[in-house]
């Protein structure tokens, strides 16, 4: 076979082996999450994670096979598949950046109603209070979800206010009471989380694009270094000759 640089070859093999293990780990993780959901009688869709892990592992194994056996067809298929994935990740990263403002505006419209925001706050147990104006959105009847726990009191997360809790309003005729509530509004907290997730998604897309590009470059270099195997055919000696020197045999002088 051809003269492929051993360092590059084994670096490429280790590179793909790590990705193959990552794909297998994704499949195993999806399997265990599915089993846990079944035990709790919950419905979970983990097919996407399993499919992603299976695709990553299959492409990585193809790259390992092509580099180890020095098979051009395997390396070419690997380069094409990884190239498609790299372009897709780049498109996803660019779209996530361009659609950032649109998605933020849609989330703002969704949480425009206080009832929706309060439901999300209670469901996710967010440490916030009010929509945009903080506790003032609830007038004097602040819900229990806005009250800071004892462990948070005295920290920047909380602030004091003179108000009446909703459950106290039903049980007493007191007008006001000083208590500590979350200082951050739910709108700003949720939007901060959304922006963090969008930043993480953009970073993941760009990261996969860079890694995929490196893999394609290494695969192309290895493919170009692989040479065709030269075969020699020896002619058969005629049946009527007793002595015959085959053409492919070296002649010693």
**Average pLDDT of the chain?**
76
Which helix (H) or strand (E) is 182 found in, with range? Answer: strand 177-182
Cβ contact 20:60 at 8 Å: yes
Q: ∠ CA(51), CA(54), CA(56), 5° rounding?
A: 110
| Cα four-point dihedral sign 163, 166, 167, 173 | positive
Whether residue 79 has pLDDT greater than 90:
yes
Pick the range with the lowest mean pLDDT from 18-27, 191-200, 224-233. Answer: 224-233
Tokens of 11: 């670096």
Gap between the Cα atoms of 179 and 159, Å rounded: 8
Q: For residue 157, which phi and psi values (nearest 5 degrees)?
A: -70, -25
Neighbours of 148 (CB within 10 A): 20
Residues 148, 151, 155, 158: what is their CA dihedral angle, to the nearest 10 degrees?
Answer: 0
pLDDT at residue number 244: 47
Of the ranges 54-63, 108-117, 163-172, 238-247, which is most confident? 54-63
Domain residue limits, the chain: 6-100+211-225, 105-189
Tokens of 193: 């989380």
Tokens of 72: 């051009």
Whether residue 164 has pLDDT greater than 90:
no
State if pTM tops 0.75.
Answer: no
Whether residue 232 has pLDDT greater than 80:
no
Q: What distance lies between CA 143 and its chain's CA centroid?
A: 37
Pick the range with the lowest mean pLDDT from 3-7, 114-118, 144-148, 201-205. Answer: 114-118
Gap between the Cα atoms of 26 and 57, Å rounded: 9
Tokens of 208: 């996969």
């Amino acid at each position: 076979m051809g003269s492929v640089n051993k360092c590059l070859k084994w670096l490429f093999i280790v590179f793909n082996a790590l990705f193959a293990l990552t794909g297998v780990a994704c499949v195993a993780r999806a399997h265990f999450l599915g089993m846990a959901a079944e035990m709790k009688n919950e419905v979970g869709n983990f097919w996407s994670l399993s499919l992603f892990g299976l695709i990553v592992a299959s492409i990585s194994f193809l790259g390992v096979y092509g580099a180890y056996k020095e098979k051009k067809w395997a390396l070419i298929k690997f380069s094409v598949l990884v190239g498609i994935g790299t372009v897709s990740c780049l498109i996803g990263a660019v779209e996530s950046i361009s659609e950032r403002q649109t998605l933020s505006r849609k989330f703002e419209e969704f949480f425009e109603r206080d009832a929706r925001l309060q439901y999300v706050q209670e469901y996710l147990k967010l440490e916030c209070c009010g929509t945009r104006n903080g506790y003032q959105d609830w007038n004097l009847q602040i819900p229990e979800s806005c009250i800071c726990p004892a462990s948070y009191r005295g920290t920047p997360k909380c602030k004091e206010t003179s108000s009446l809790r909703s459950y106290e309003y039903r049980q007493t005729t007191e007008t006001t009471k000083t208590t500590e509530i979350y200082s951050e509004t739910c709108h700003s907290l949720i939007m901060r989380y959304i922006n963090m997730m969008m930043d993480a998604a953009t970073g993941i897309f760009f990261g996969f694009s860079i890694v995929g590009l490196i893999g394609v470059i290494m695969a192309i270099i290895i493919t170009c270094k692989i040479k065709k195997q030269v075969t020699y055919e020896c002619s058969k000696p005629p049946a009527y000759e007793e002595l015959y020197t085959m053409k492919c045999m070296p002649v010693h002088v």
